[in-house]
Amino acid sequence: MDNTASMRQLVHRVVDETPVLDMHTHIYAPAFGSLLLWGVDELITYHYLVAEVFRVAPMPYERFWAMSKREQADYIWKHLFVERSPVSEACRGVLTVLHALGLDTGPRDLAAARKYFASTTVEKFVDTVFTTANVKSVVMTNDPFDDQERPAWLNGHTCDQRFQAALRIDPLLNGWEQAVPRLREWGYEVTGELRERDVEQVRRFLRDWVARMRPRYMAVSLPPSFRFPEDSPRGRLIENCVMPVAREANIPFALMIGVRRNVNPGLQLAADGVGTADITVVDALCRAFPDNRFLVTMLSRENQHELCVAARKHPNLLVFGCWWFLNNPTFIRDMTSQRLELLGLSFVPQHSDARVLDQLIYKWAHSRTIIADVLADKYADLARTGWKITEADIRRDVADLLADNFERFAKRA
Ligand code: HDL
Ligand code: ZN
């Protein structure tokens, strides 16, 4: 490379051109019907914006939830976009999407956007979004305990290869008592005592859903209070059921640690908060199960440095994403820098966590810019030592970060 500026330009171009494998989303394939959220009113009523509108225009929660999706969107648009500048990351994201779709945000009204979405179909829009966002595939979040989703799997739905499954087991691990009657209803003869018979039945449940979904990994979100080892239903289920079935199926176990659920229940999906977790649980699991592989993301900024250090200790640990309250430019820049400095290229810098299909466009546009910037800084450091960075180097490194690190780790034989 002749100089830093042209290298920086090249890095940005390569990052933009490299297709992403988005390893954690809440997006569904069209085959799941209304579970797939898309369109401007879903975009504006994303739970991140709901939390923000209550800060400036509070009302009784039940009155807000009684409004139609369109009325909620109008309320949010008025208070977060018209009556004040939409500078938050979630607000900015809405505008990034509308702009990328060629819609003029100048008029500051929703008419044109609503007309655009009314004129297209979900199938066409899936193609538009995946192309615009340059995403080759997303991993969904698939929950067998979800009454709306379960029938689609039991009826043998199929979806195209852009949508891959992840077996999400929060209700099993975090709500064992409530899960017992439902498992029994589905033909798994558990008593709740979690002795040998229950262990065997839960293993059968997990095996059945692994066979049905063919998931890339099993996943759970965990509170900051999560401890391991722990003589609790969760501790015993992880040790005796999840670990052996994940090994048999040769798939990782994804731990998303640090969420405090329902801090303010009135906000529904926006109700959850964050807490600093105990990093020793990550060391304990990686050490106790050397033949299992762990994908880990943590929600608290305070856990990020120690998570990088843990990844240096455990080759069966892959750190991923700037999750949820960390999916903002400030933290993405900071976390990507420290991960490159501590882990080299052996991590997954981002996942979108998109809940609304359209969000793939903004979540990846915003993250790509920062990842490219930080990576270019590191290449510039190398260039100052006389090291020659080639375009092939950059393409290989970026493909690893945006797709291949996850792919290789998920498949590792
Ligand atoms: O538990 C999770 O997977 C979180 O990502 C939650 O779904 C959260 O509500 C979210 O959408 N964060 O971005
Ligand atoms: Zn998520």
Q: Which pLDDT belongs to residue 289?
A: 98
Structural domain includes residue 243: yes
What CATH number is given to the structural domain containing 378? 3.20.20.140
Tell whether the torsion through CA atoms of 201, 204, 206 and 208 is positive or negative.
negative
Token pair for 111: 């008419």
Q: Which domain holds residue 215?
A: 4-29+138-409
Residue to probe by mutation, ligand 1, list 353, 357, 360, 363, most atoms within 8 Å of CB: 353
Proportion of the chain above pLDDT 90, given as a percent: 97
Domain assignment of residue 192, yes or no: yes
Q: How far is the CA of 298 from the centre of ligand 1 (A)?
A: 12
pLDDT at site 148: 96
Query: Alpha helix locations (H) across 314-353?
Result: 329-343
Can you give the pLDDT at residue 159?
A: 78
pLDDT digits (tens, 9 = 90+) for 266-325: 999 999 999 999 999 999 999 999 999 999 999 999 999 999 999 999 999 999 999 999
Q: What pLDDT is stored for residue 315 in this prediction? A: 98
Asked if residue 1 has pLDDT above 70, the reply is no
> What number is the average pLDDT over the span 173-201?
98
| Percent above pLDDT 70 for the chain | 99
Residue 266 domain flag: yes
Q: What is the pLDDT of residues 4-50, one digit of tens each?
A: 889 999 999 999 999 999 999 999 999 999 999 999 999 999 999 99
The neighbouring-strand residues paired with 255 are 220, 296
**Closest ligand relative to 267 C-alpha:** 1
Instruction: Quote the pTM value.
Output: 0.98
| pLDDT per residue as tens digits for the range 231-264 | 999 999 999 999 999 999 999 999 999 999 999 9
Query: Which residues surround ligand 1 with Cβ inside 6 Å?
Result: 26, 141, 221, 256, 269, 324, 353, 355
Angle at 179 between CA 316 and CA 201, to 5 degrees: 70
Q: Please report whether residue 235 resides in a domain.
A: yes
pLDDT of amino acid 409 = 98
**Residue 340 within any structural domain of the chain:** yes
Longest Cα–Cα distance in the chain: 69
Smallest-distance ligand from the CA of 168: 1
Q: Per the domain annotation, does 61 fall within a domain?
A: no
Residue 112 resides in a domain: no
**What's the pLDDT at 157?**
80
Distance 24 CA to ligand 1 centre (A): 9
Measure 385 CA to ligand 2 centroid, in angstroms: 40
Within a domain: 288: yes
Question: What is the total count of domains within the chain?
Answer: 1
Q: List, for residues 351-373, the tens digit of each pLDDT value.
A: 999 999 999 999 999 999 999 99
Nearest CA, atom 5, ligand 1: 353
What is the CA(119)–ligand 1 centre distance, in A? 30
Q: Which atom of ligand 1 has the smallest separation from the CA of 324?
A: 13
Q: Where does the pLDDT of residue 349 fall: very low under 50, low under 70, confident under 90, or very high at 90 and above?
A: very high
What are the backbone dihedrals phi and psi of residue 185, each rounded to the nearest 5 degrees, phi first?
Answer: -60, -30
Q: Which of ligand 1's atoms lies nearest the C-alpha of 221?
A: 1
CA-nearest of 145, 142, 171, 168 to 157 is 142
pLDDT of residue 33: 95
Distance of CA 132 from the midpoint of ligand 2 (Å): 22
Q: What residue type is 115 in one-letter code?
A: K
Q: Tell me how far the alpha carbon of residue 108 lies from the centroid of ligand 2, in angstroms.
A: 30
**DSSP per-residue letters across 202-238:** HHHHHHHHHHHH--S-EEEEE-TT--SS-SSHHHHHI
Question: What pLDDT is attached to residue 158?
Answer: 78
- Which pLDDT band, with edges at 50, 70 and 90, does 2 fall under? low
Atom of ligand 1 nearest to the CA of 259: 1
Single-letter code of the amino acid located at 185: E
